[in-house]
A and B are shown apart, each in its own frame.
Chain A
């Protein structure tokens, strides 16, 4: 991923509205993001654009991700 795009993604991961989401996304970015395929990385970029509550409901398993492209990333966010 190109540097500026990564930095934009980093900001959108480390500065969220909810602490729960801050921690989950920061951790994912630091620990798992680099080993993803380009397509998977793109899926994470899309997830990072979700609203905080939506993301938290997915990460905490209160809601299920129906999108087959995004679901594997949500699963990784949950496990991490």
Chain B
């Protein structure tokens, strides 16, 4: 078959915050740069971010990147690589100021500086007291960020391919990445992008869970493509959950609701947080509340026909207070839970929110994997940034507002590394003869299969399996069962059938291809989680509990290491955590407590 080949210096898959930031570096360096996106750039999931972006500008009070670094290492439960964390926290001021120059309308102080507000886990003076470090643009931080960077790219002549879906990486016989295959949705045509640099910025994969705050688009395509191309995925057992997502829908109910007096109740109408956290009760920290909810549900005290959620009750609050202090919450509840919270409690569950793991990179944004005894050997021609990548700065647990920072810093450095590598190389490497065959055969299999399984059912099977076996609180027996079950679900996913066989604009085919990515992330998560026999950060097991020897269930002697999951044979290996920052002293191991 004759497959069209488009030649670019660089292709960036993804037009969210990370993709747009790296594209600026490439286009402004005069390189011919393509950006692919499943949706119009400003419709990327980054648009949902409201809380802000962290940077120790010190505009509202004294702050220092070393304090930010300390908080990030501690937040990561010491699983973050300290070279990458130092790099990110140091660079934060520069990338935020750049963003301001691109036209980002940050909130301002009276004197015209960027206004900063406090955010959970960000402290001054090495964990002493909360500090104002988050920079925001009202409730539209992500939206404004995407707009500012999209405009900058348009000026720099970045070429956008909108409503295109990347399918697979192309690697030559020496393992160099020489481009990607992609499908134009409007025509159904598969095309080869032949490049000298390929950057993945495809965002997270939060849709592997049944209950997720992530938009439907977060299907982990970059992770699926990397895994199929033989690149391992790092630390995939670590997912951050938010305690209160609307049951069934996932839409986030802010912590503010409990702050205003909201109470969590089980099927006996009991205020169960009194048992788990007698002092803080419903205001205990996110992970404590989430675990208590999961325990109530597991022990049969959940509500509803399937006993699979608990209730967030604000019926005792004055309706005027609800309307004034919690705007939008009543509307979310009516729209997505079908209840008016003034009259009835809101069904909620701990809900998947953020993916800490991803495609392994160094702090230059270059993708790395073990080769010949080197844990961090570069995969030439491939870069990754944003939520799909693992640098690793978030380790076992991300601090809020550090992910927008991550995508700015590592988006930029991935772009810079690509520019450097392209300028240091002579020409495009040859495309393998069979460059598109793998993608074409995957598409043909979906198109031609009869009597296969339905996409919606297979996707639901993934989500149910993950939610039930590898949720916010993990049980050894459930993880074992889950690892076996997800491999059964994989068979279903490898046997997808679509009824619509049309070539042009076939959304069923797109969803089938996404589901083939979702399953890779699901397997990586389940198998990595089953294997890690300790509790750390967001990975909490019932058989690794707090003890004098292992505070919070964390076991540094055996488990202070990164997981690498390989698709081939579901093999797991581990690599050391980098405890050595670039210029300062290491943040020493300690128990994580706030």
Contact = CB atoms under 8 A, between A and B. Distances in A.
Contacts of B48: 17-19, 52
Interface residues of A, number: 26
User: Could you say which of A10, A24, A26, A51 has the most chain B C-beta atoms within 10 Å of its C-beta?
Assistant: A51
A14 interface: yes
B507 A60 contact: no
A78 to B, nearest CB: 8
B217 A11 contact: no
Contacts of B90: none
B510 A53 contact: no
B505 A62 contact: no
Contact of B185 (A3, A11, A22, A59): A11
Contact of B504 (A4, A16, A19, A62): A4
Nearest to A6: B505
Nearest to B139: A53
Nearest to A62: B328
Given A51-B42, A53-B47, A20 B251 contact: yes
B506 A22 contact: no
A11 B505 contact: yes
Contacts of A22: 215-217
Contacts of A61: 331
A3 B251 CA distance: 31
Contacts of A69: none
B505 A8 contact: yes
A23 interface: yes
B144 to A, nearest CB: 10
A15 B336 contact: no
Contacts of A46: none
Contacts of A3: 502, 505
B141 to A, nearest CB: 11
A1 B458 CA distance: 29
A16 B42 CA distance: 10
Q: Of B48, B213, B510, which is in contact with the most chain A CB atoms at under 10 Å from its CB?
A: B48
B186 interface: yes
A43 B215 CA distance: 24
A8 B186 contact: yes
B250 A17 contact: no
Given A16-B216, A23-B251, A53 B140 contact: yes
A17 B332 contact: no
Given A23-B249, A60-B332, A18 B507 contact: no
A14 B331 contact: no
A22 B251 CA distance: 11
B216 A19 contact: yes
B322 to A, nearest CB: 15
Contacts of A4: 186, 502, 504-505
A62 B335 CA distance: 13
B44 interface: yes
Nearest to B506: A7
Contacts of A15: 38-39, 43, 215-217
A11 B163 contact: yes
B143 interface: yes
Contacts of B507: 7, 10-11, 14
Contacts of B39: 12, 15-17
A52 B505 contact: no
Interface string B332-346: 100110000000000
Contacts of A16: 39, 43, 215-217
A22 B250 CA distance: 11
Given A7-B506, A8-B505, A20-B332, 10 more contacts: A16-B217, A17-B46, A18-B48, A19-B48, A19-B214, A20-B251, A23-B251, A23-B335, A53-B143, A59-B335
9 contacts: A3-B505, A4-B502, A12-B39, A17-B142, A18-B45, A18-B48, A20-B332, A60-B332, A62-B327
Smallest CB-CB A-B distances: 10 pairs = A17-B47, A7-B505, A60-B331, A17-B43, A4-B505, A22-B216, A15-B217, A19-B215, A18-B48, A10-B507
